[in-house]
């Protein structure tokens, strides 16, 4: 079974990819690039599934790792170095999650703003009393 630090490193890599895709999605939202938005959405779904699998693996590793080892001083010293690395990885993960949440919030606001603009334009173009209904992009 893999070590906790390995799983955390993989989780961090996936989160960093998610962050990059979120920023690409942000650019696509700002330029009204529908294909870019769709591509980013698909990639985010794929990365979210990967992150969920890694989180499940992390939980299994946590359950399988004994908290206190009966090994000697050398193992204790190595465990101390591992603990330092794990703490650094956890801090990096927390930071990446915060950044991802900020990007997602900005993307949500951009999407809502675009939707409000489209709804306003439709209300200006349609005669009074006519419902805007739902439009498909293929219409």
pLDDT in tens, 56-69: 999 999 888 765 34
User: What is the model's pTM?
Assistant: 0.75
> Minimal CA–CA distance to 97: which of 29, 19, 4?
19
Spatial CB neighbours of 96, under 8 Å, sequence gap ≥ 6: 12, 15, 16, 19
Q: 127 falls in which pLDDT band (50, 70, 90)?
A: confident
pLDDT digits 0-9 by tens, 82-122: 789 999 999 999 999 999 999 999 999 999 998 898 888 88
Sign of CA dihedral 87, 15, 67, 74: negative
Smallest Cα–Cα separation from 100: which of 25, 8, 4?
Answer: 25
Per-residue model confidence as pLDDT tens digits over 15-43: 999 999 999 999 999 999 999 999 999 99
Measured CA to CA, the distance from residue 69 to residue 82 in angstroms comes to 13
Number of H helices, E strands in the chain: 3, 0
């Amino acid at each position: 079974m893999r070590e906790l630090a390995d799983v955390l490193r993989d989780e961090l890599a996936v989160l960093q990819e998610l962050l990059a895709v979120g920023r690409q999605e942000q650019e696509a939202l700002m330029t009204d690039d529908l294909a870019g938005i769709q591509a980013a959405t698909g990639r985010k779904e794929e990365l979210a599934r990967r992150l969920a699998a890694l989180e499940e693996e992390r939980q299994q590793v946590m359950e399988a790792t004994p908290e206190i080892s009966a090994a000697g001083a050398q193992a204790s010293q190595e465990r101390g170095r591992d603990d330092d690395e794990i703490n650094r990885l956890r801090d990096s993960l927390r930071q990446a999650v915060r950044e991802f949440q900020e990007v997602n919030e900005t993307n949500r606001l951009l999407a809502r703003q675009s939707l409000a603009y489209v709804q306003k334009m439709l209300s200006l173009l349609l005669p009074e009393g006519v419902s805007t209904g739902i439009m498909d992009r293929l219409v």
